[in-house]
Structure 1
Amino acid sequence: MQNMIKEFRDFINKGDVVTIAVGLVMALYFKQIVDKIIEGVITPLLAAIFGEPNYASIGFDIGDSFISIGLVLGAVIDFIAVSFILFLLIKAYNKWKAEAPEEEAGPTEVELLTEIRDSLRNR
């Protein structure tokens, strides 16, 4: 049992599982923000353009059936909106990342070994 606990701890630490889990939780909550932007802003605006209360009302009747073009249109618009919002976020993140000062890299392993070699030669 003790060995299994050690293996599990090594597994968690090795794969950076905690970072991935945090990223997934943040993505779930970010999805809620995007959903509310679409639900509260984009959907009412587009439904108002068509003079309907919501997407589902946009369509036409064929016999006893109602063909809802609005649902398909809504799915396409949702996809485009989510894609555009993600594009803007990634663009802003990349700009922020490029402006962030990079850490000064230390000497490489080869440079250190060369320095040690030269130091030993000079003795």
Structure 2
Amino acid sequence: MLQGFKEFITRGNVLDLAVAVVIGAAFSGVISGLVDGFIMPLIGWLIGAPDFTEIAFYLPNWQGETTKFQIGLFIQGVIMFLLISAAIYFFVILPIKKLQSLRKQAEEDVVEEALAEEVVLLTEIRDLLRTQTGAASQNR
């Protein structure tokens, strides 16, 4: 039982996940700063109200008291989620994908160059063997 747990915990995926959680927690401050300091004020400038938390409606209950439903908190949460997701996608995921694509292309170019060099070398060896075989058959 403990051996199985040890294998599970030392598996690469679990370690990668742990690293991702730590980096994500550290990176959340950067993304929050971007959203809170730039994107939300930009939305406020465009539409006039960056803070949606005050949006609410009131309903009376059966005792005659009113209950406040703060739908603005939900709206604010959805907007923050979408903005943070967009910031991560455009400022992290897309650049990383581009770097990976460039790296992969560079590796493929290196492999193609190596193969081209091998083809040239093998062609030279073949030609040398043909000339040696032709010269040896003429000497007989």
Using the size of structure 2 for normalisation, the TM-score is 0.50
Q: Is 1:92 matched up with 2:88?
A: no
Cα 1:22–1:60 change in 2 (3 A) is same
Contact 2:31 2:88 (8 Å CA) reproduced: no
Match of 2:26 among 29, 34, 50: 29
Gapped regions of structure 2 (runs ≥ 5): 61-65, 112-140
Contact 1:50 1:58 (8 Å CA) reproduced: no
Contact 1:56 1:71 (8 Å CA) reproduced: yes
Q: Over aligned residues, Cα RMSD in angstroms?
A: 3.5
Instruction: Identify, as 1 or 2, the structure richer in helix.
Output: 2
Q: Tell me the distance in 2 between the aligned counterparts of 1:74 and 1:23.
A: 26
Q: Tell me the distance in 2 between the aligned counterparts of 1:51 and 1:82.
A: 18
Using the size of structure 1 for normalisation, the TM-score is 0.55
1:30-49 alignment runs, 5 A limit: 30-46=27-43, 49=47
Q: Structure 1 counterpart of 2:95, which letter?
A: A
Q: Tell me the distance in 2 between the aligned counterparts of 1:33 and 1:81.
A: 13
Is the radius of gyration larger for structure 1 or structure 2? 2
Q: How many residues align?
A: 98
Match of 1:15 among 7, 11, 14: 11
Once the two structures are TM-superposed, the CA of residue 33 in structure 1 deviates from its matched residue by 2.1
Gapped regions of structure 1 (runs ≥ 5): 106-123
Greater RCO (CA < 8 Å, at least 6 residues apart): 2
Identity of aligned residues (%): 24
Q: Structure 2 counterpart of 1:73, which letter?
A: I
